[in-house]
Amino acid sequence: MCKQCGCQEEQNCGCSCDCGRNSSQFERRYQTKAEQIADLEAYLHELKLEVQAVEERLADLRK
């Protein structure tokens, strides 16, 4: 809960109180090599699940 405006927002509520924002206002722009690999592996996993879902849907439609 924002102490300044009383809102229940976890993200910025739109007032000038900056509730939900990182107090340092620093946002990383670059990833380490390990972070890039982890993100790409997770993305690849999601893509494989999507391919599987499409193949299953096609199989159902062809019945």
- Name residues whose C-beta falls within 8 Å of residue 14's C-beta, 6 or more positions apart in sequence: none
pLDDT interval class at 12 (50, 70, 90):
low
pTM (two decimals)? 0.55
Mean pLDDT of 15-42: 82
For residues 20 and 5, the answer to whether their CB atoms sit within 8 Å is no
List, for residues 40-63, the tens digit of each pLDDT value.
Answer: 999 999 999 999 999 999 999 999
Element holding 36 (H helix, E strand): helix 33-62
Distance of CA 18 to the CA centre of its chain: 21
For residues 6 and 17, the answer to whether their CB atoms sit within 8 Å is no
Domain borders along the chain are: 1-27, 31-63
